[in-house]
Amino acid sequence: MGLLLLLTSTLLSSYFHPGIMVDAQRIFTIRDITLSIEPSTDVVRGTNVTVRCKAIVSSFGQEVLSREYTIYKGNNKVYTKNSSTSEDLLYPLPDARVSNTGKYHCRINIKGEEMNSRVEKLTVTGLSKPVLHLDKDVFSEGEEIMATCTAPGETGSIFFYLHEGNNVLREGLVNTNHFETKFRFSRVGIHGIHCKYTVITMPDSFMSNESNILSVSVEELSIKPVLEIFPQTKIYEGDPLNILCTIRNLARPDNIHLYLSQGIKLLSSGNTKVNHSIVALASEPGDFECRLEMGNVAKVAAKTVLVTELFSVPTLTMSPAEVFQKERMTLTCKSEIASERLNRGELIYTLEPDSPLTPLAPGVFSGKALLYDFNYTCVAKAKGIVKRSETLTVCPKISVSTPKISVEGKAVLGQPFKIRCQSDVGSLPINYTLLKGYDQLGTISVRLPQPALFTVTITKPEEIKEYMCEAKNNHKNAPLSQRLNATVIEPLMGLTLTVTPHLPEISEGDHLYLICGTKGTPPVTFKWYRVGKEQPLHTTTSEKNNTDYQVPNLSKAHSGTYYCEAVNHANNIVRSEEVTIEVRLALWKKAVIGGVCLLVVSVLVVGSVLYFRSKRVRVVRAAVSVWSERPPEAANDEESSVVSSEPDVEYTEVVHPQPAGTARVPLRKGTDTVYSELKNPPHGAGDHHDYGSVVYAELNGKQPEIGHHPPEVRNHLPVPVD
C-alpha cells in the first residue's frame, strides 16, 4: 500500500515538474547542477585549474542513469562527456593561460531532460614575454628580411605587432603562438626592431610586454644614378638643354631601369643610359630627376635648373575700365625686358583671336567695343619664346533705355502709394531718380534686375502728372521717362440717401426708389440696410457715383428705418444718414373707408328719422280704444280712403295705457298689445290728416276688475304731430 502511494505521488509530481522523467523502467528527477572552478576563479598564468560540474539526480531503483555533460565557454562548447556514474565531471585546464579566461557553465542531459548550471568566470593573469628572431642581422639595401615573433606557451587567438620604434612595420592575427613576416627597409643604416602581442578573449583582450630588441644593419649598394645637365651655368630662355642620366659602379646590367623626369612629366627611360634635349623655358619647372630601380631598390639623383627670363609674361589692360557698346576702347599689352640679350624691338605683340581692333603701336590696339562679350589674349614673341597673358574678358555695357514710369498697385488720394520706375534694357547698376516737375525727390541704385520703387503722397488728382523718372548707368546718357499717367482714386465722401416719392407721400402700392449717391472714384459698391437686420437688403457695384435700390408695390411691412453704405478701391467705407419711411394707406382704401363711414352715418340718420316717426304714431294711437264704436259709414269711408290713398303698409307695435275713467269695457290685467296698420299719406299732401287706421288689438292677461273704467274712445283721429 505504501509503495502504491509513493508511485502515485511520483507520477503526479512528474506531471507538474519538468525535471522529472517517467518511463516503463525508472523514474528520476534532476534536482540541481553546479559548476565550480578550482582552486579559484582568479589565478596566475601556469596554475593547474579544474572546472568541476556536479549534478544531483534522484531516481527510482539502484541503477545509475546514463547522463551527458557539456562544458561551455561563453556560447562555445569546449568539452563533452557521457557518464554512467554519479561522479562529478572534471574538466582540467593544466598550466592555465590567459586564453583560458572566460565565462563557463555546464549542462546535463538525461534522456532528453536538461538543466544548466550558473555561470562562473575564470580570470587568468600574466603573459609570457615574446621572443623576436631574425634570420640574420646584416642586410644589403633592398634585401628582404624574415622576422619571427613567438609567444611562448600561449594559446588562443593572438594578434602580433612588429615595431621599429613606435612605427608598426607588420601586424597579423593568428591562432598559434608564433608569427612570421617579411619586410624591407627603405633606407640604409642601423634599425632597432621588437615585437609584442595581444591575446584576445572575447570580449576582453590582454597585451603582453615588449620582446627583445634586435639591431638590423642595412648596407647601401655601391650602384648609383648620375644626372648631368649642359650648359651648367647661366641658362636663358630659349637655350638648348642636354640632359644625361647614367649609372655609376654598375656591376651587372640585369634587372636595372632608368627614368628621366621633369617635374611630373616623364621625358625618357632606358636600361643603363638616357639622353634627352629640350629648350629651356622659365615657365616650366626646372626640377629634373634621374631614377634607378633595381628589384626592390630605388635610387634617385635630382637637379634644379634656373632659367633666366628674356621677357616677362605680358599683361593685357583696357582703357577705359568700363566701355559701352560701340564705344571706342584701347587694349594695351606689355612685357618687361628681363635680359640684356633681348632688345625691345625684337618683341612682337599680337591679339588672339583675331579682332577688328587696329594696332596703334607695339602692344597697343584700339577700336569700337562689340555688342557682346569677347575674350582677348595678348601673345608676346621673341627668340622663339612665346608667352601669353591671362585672358581679358571685355563685357561692353548696354546703355540704359528710356525708363517706364507707372503706379505700383493703386494711387489713392491722400494715402502713400508707390511709383515704379524701370528700364527694359541697360547694364547694371542703374541709378533711378524720381522727379516732380524738375525737382529731384530721391535716387535709388538698382544692382539686380528689378524696378526702383518710390513712395509718394498726393493731395490733388492733377499732381500725378507732375512725376517723371530718370535712368542712368554711365556719365553720358540719362534718359527721362514720360510724365506719369495713372488713375487717382479719390476716397468716397458725402454719401446721401434720397427717397422717391417724397416721404410724406409714400403710400401702399407705390414704387419706392432708395437712391444712394456719393463723391469719389468709381467703381463704387453700394449696400442698402434696414435697421434691425445685419445682412444688407441689396448690394451692387456701379461705374457711376450713384445708383438706386427699388422696392415695387409697397406695403405697410416695408415701413422702417433705412440707410446705405458705399466703398471703392480706396477701401474707405462711408455711411449715409438714416431715413425713416412710413407707408400710408392707399387712396382707394381711404375712399372705401370714407364711403363706409358715410353709409353708416346715413343709416343712423334714417334710423333716427324712422324712430321719431314711429314714436309719433304711437302717440296718436294712444287715445284709441280697442273697444270703441265708430259709425259704419265713417269706418268704411275711412277704410276705403286709406286703402285707396296709402298703398304702403307699416306694422307697428303700440302699447296703450289703461285709462282710469272707463267703466264700460272690461279690461284684463297686464299689457295690451295693439297691432296697427298705418297708411302713409301721399307725397305732397302735407296738411291732409284724414287717413284711416286699422287697429288689431290683442288683450293679454285677465279681465280688469269691476270698478275699472275702460279707456275713453274718441270718434275722431288726433291731430298729427310734426
The C-alpha atoms of residue 316 and residue 335 are separated, in whole angstroms, by 9
pLDDT in tens, 444-457: 999 999 999 999 99
44 within 8 A of 126, measured Cβ to Cβ: yes
pLDDT digits (tens, 9 = 90+) for 221-280: 888 899 999 988 888 888 899 999 998 887 666 778 899 999 899 999 998 899 999 988
pLDDT above 60 for 623: no
Residue 608 lies in a domain: no
Q: What integer is the mean pLDDT of 593-614?
A: 82
Last residue within a domain, chosen from 485, 516, 542: 485
* Residue 420 included in any domain: yes
Domain's final residue, options 435, 453, 485: 485
Q: Is 681 left (phi over 0), alpha (psi -120 to 50) or beta?
A: beta
pLDDT of residue 90: 94
Are 113 and 19 in contact by the 8 Å Cβ rule? The answer is yes
pLDDT tens figures, 559-572 = 999 999 999 988 88
Task: Give the bridge partners for 44, in sequence order.
Answer: 125
- What are the angstrom distances between the C-alpha of 218 and each of 144, 202, 439? 11, 41, 93
- Asked whether residue 260 falls in the same domain as residue 325, the answer is no
Contacts (Cβ under 8 Å, ≥6 apart) of 341: 236, 310
Q: How distant, in Å, are the alpha carbons of 79, 410, 596 from that of 406?
A: 98, 10, 75
The answer, yes or no, to whether residue 330 has pLDDT greater than 60, is yes
Average pLDDT over residues 434-451: 93
Average pLDDT over residues 600-615: 83
Mean pLDDT of the chain: 81
- For residue 477, the model assigns a pLDDT of 79
CA atoms within 13 A on the CB side of 431: 12
Cα-based angle 417, 418, 424 (whole degrees, multiple of 5): 155
In the predicted structure, residue 673 carries a pLDDT above the cut 90: no
451 and 550 assigned to the same domain: no
pLDDT of 61 reads 74
Regarding whether 168 and 100 lie in a shared domain, the answer is: no
What does the alpha-carbon distance between residue 415 and residue 424 come to, in Å, rounded to a whole number?
29
* Farthest-apart Cα atoms in the chain, separation: 209
d(CA 663, CA 686) in angstroms, rounded, equals 38
The whole-angstrom separation of Cα 228 and Cα 248 is 12
Residue 511 pLDDT > 50: yes
Q: Is residue 637 over pLDDT 60? A: no
Please state the domain count of the chain. Answer: 7
User: Do 420 and 506 fall into the same domain?
Assistant: no
pLDDT of residue 271: 86
The confidence score (pLDDT) of residue 26 equals 54
| 386 shares a domain with 324 | yes
* Weakest-pLDDT range from 5-19, 484-498, 669-683: 669-683
Point out which residues pair with 102 in neighbouring strands: 122
**Is residue 454, in this structure, part of any structural domain at all?**
yes
Residue 441 belongs to domain with CATH number: 2.60.40.10
The predicted structure's pLDDT at residue 3? 39
List beta partners, residue 528.
538, 564
Q: Does the structure show a pLDDT above 70 at 349?
A: yes
Q: What confidence score (pLDDT) does residue 342 get?
A: 87
Higher pLDDT residue, 599 or 413?
413
pLDDT of the residue at 445: 94
pLDDT for 274-304, tens place per residue? 999 998 888 888 899 999 888 778 889 999 9
Question: Model confidence over 639-665: pLDDT tens digits?
Answer: 333 333 334 434 334 344 444 443 333
Q: How far apart are CA 507 and CA 1, in angstroms?
A: 126
pLDDT at 613: 81
Residue 326 has pLDDT above 80, yes or no: yes
On the question of pLDDT at 439 being above 50, the answer is yes
Q: What gap in Å lies between CA 475 and CA 459, rounded to an integer?
A: 35
Judge contact between 91 and 53, C-beta under 8 A: yes
Instruction: Look at residue 416 and tell me whether its pLDDT is greater than 90.
Output: yes
| Predicted pLDDT at 588 | 67
Average pLDDT of span 543-551: 93
Q: Are residues 190 and 267 in the same domain?
A: no
CB 73 within 8 A of CB 123: no
Kindly state whether residues 246 and 276 are assigned to the same domain. yes
Question: Of 379, 394, 515, 405, which Cα lies nearest the Cα of 468?
Answer: 405
Identify the bridge partners of residue 436 per DSSP, sorted by sequence position.
439, 467
Q: Is 94 a residue whose pLDDT tops 90?
A: yes
Question: 627 pLDDT band (50/70/90 cuts)?
Answer: very low
Q: How many helices (H) and strands (E) does the chain have?
A: 3, 55
The yes-or-no verdict on residue 142 having pLDDT over 70 is yes
Distance CA 671, CA 673 (A): 6
Q: Kindly tell me if the per-residue pLDDT of 585 is higher than 90.
A: no
- Which pairing describes strands 67-73 and 102-110: parallel, antiparallel, or unpaired? antiparallel
Q: Are 194 and 181 in contact (CB under 8 A)?
A: no
| H or E element that contains 91 | strand 89-93
One domain, residues 41 and 118: yes
What per-residue confidence (pLDDT) applies to 618?
Answer: 61
**Band (670; pLDDT cuts 50, 70, 90):** very low
* Segments forming the whole domain that contains residue 61: 2-124
CA 227-229-232 angle, 5° bins: 130
> Which residue's C-alpha cell is 274718441?
714
Q: Is residue 263 part of a domain?
A: yes
- Domain endpoint, select from 485, 508, 533: 485
Asked if 693 contacts 678 with a C-beta cutoff of 8 angstroms, the reply is: yes
Q: What's the confidence (pLDDT) of residue 171?
A: 94
Assess whether 13 and 93 both reside in one domain: yes
> What are the backbone dihedrals phi and psi of residue 643, each rounded to the nearest 5 degrees, phi first?
-65, -35
Domain match, 32 and 145 both: no
Residue 80 lies in a domain: yes
Kindly report the backbone phi and psi dihedral angles of residue 327, in degrees, each rounded to the nearest multiple of 5, phi listed first: -90, 155
Q: Is 117 found in the same domain as 7?
A: yes
Cell 516503463 belongs to which residue? 24
- pLDDT digits 0-9 by tens, 14-26: 444 444 444 445 5
Kindly state whether residue 202 falls inside one of the protein's structural domains.
yes
- pLDDT, average across residues 8-13: 44
> Residue 598: its pLDDT value, please?
82
Q: Are 288 and 227 in contact (CB under 8 A)?
A: yes
Same-domain check for residues 25 and 101: yes
Q: What are the Cα distances from residue 303, in Å, to 226, 263, 265, 708?
A: 10, 11, 15, 190
Going from the C-alpha of 181 to that of each of 144, 147, 178, 573, the distances in angstroms are: 10, 6, 10, 98
In 3D, which of 373, 239, 243 has the Cα closest to residue 302? 243
Q: Judge whether 357 lies within some domain.
A: yes
**Is beta strand 138-140 parallel, antiparallel or unpaired with respect to 214-219?**
parallel
Distance CA 464, CA 235 (A): 79
- Taking only the tens place, the pLDDT of each residue in 32-74 is 999 999 999 999 999 999 999 999 988 887 777 889 999 999 9
Q: Is residue 713 part of a domain?
A: no
Q: What is the pLDDT of residues 159-193, one digit of tens each?
A: 999 999 899 999 999 999 999 999 888 788 899 99
The pLDDT value recorded for residue 702 is 40
Average pLDDT of 102-129?
A: 93
First and final CA of the chain: distance in angstroms?
155
